[in-house]
Amino acid sequence: MNTLAKMQERHPFVLSETDLKLVVSSMLRKELEIFRIQDGFISIFDRLQFYSQTTDETSGFDHAWMLVLGERGSEDDMSFLGLSDLYLEIGFASSRSKKSIAFINKYTALLVDLLFSFRIDLCDSIRLTKVKRFYFEHRDELDCMYLNGIMKGEQFNGDESQNYSGNV
């Protein structure tokens, strides 16, 4: 057992939910701000290379999922894919429409609250319904390709049964 593991065994590091929310929210907000800055540089300089891997683009979201839920997000989990799509769209929308940093702050806070609600709702279908509801409520500012695809021909009807029918 290495020194770090021994130290953690004697003094486990546990964050309160409030502190964990702060860490996750800050991490996601900063990643979206960096994403926006990179996008701006690319539009100015056309060909700009960043020294990162393609998987780095959403690593903050992947790490947030692991920190909050204690597991890796799965490509088979539609709630993970839907929330990831929302996260990317927040970055694209802020860059595309030159939204203020307040836009990123607002949606990061809402996204983190939604992610933390997944700790209570363990069922993937309930989580996905929450993602759809969130998107439906904010679709005037967000345009998510993945969620548009799975919600095609559906519309949230506003009641607590969380049914969908009609068009988005």
Quickly state the pLDDT bin for 93 (edges 50, 70, 90). confident
**Residue 24 belongs to domain spanning:** 19-151
Inform me whether the pLDDT recorded for 10 exceeds 90: no
| Residue 159 included in any domain | no
How many angstroms from the chain centroid is the CA of residue 71? 15
Of residues 52 and 84, the one with the higher pLDDT is 84
Structure tokens at 142: 């967000």
| DSSP-derived secondary structure letter, 164 | B
| Residue 128 included in any domain | yes
| Residue 1 included in any domain | no
| Measured torsion, CA atoms of residues 77, 168, 119, 27, in degrees rounded to the nearest 10 | 90
Task: Provide the number of structural domains found in the chain.
Answer: 1
The mean pLDDT of 144-162, rounded to a whole number, is: 65
| Residue 34 included in any domain | yes
Quickly state the pLDDT bin for 35 (edges 50, 70, 90). confident
What's the mean pLDDT when you consider all of the chain? 79
Quickly state the pLDDT bin for 23 (edges 50, 70, 90). very high
User: What pLDDT sits at residue 55?
Assistant: 58
| Residue 5 included in any domain | no
Inform me whether the pLDDT recorded for 162 exceeds 50: no
Asked if 137 and 162 count as a contact pair (C-beta separation under 8 A), the reply is: no
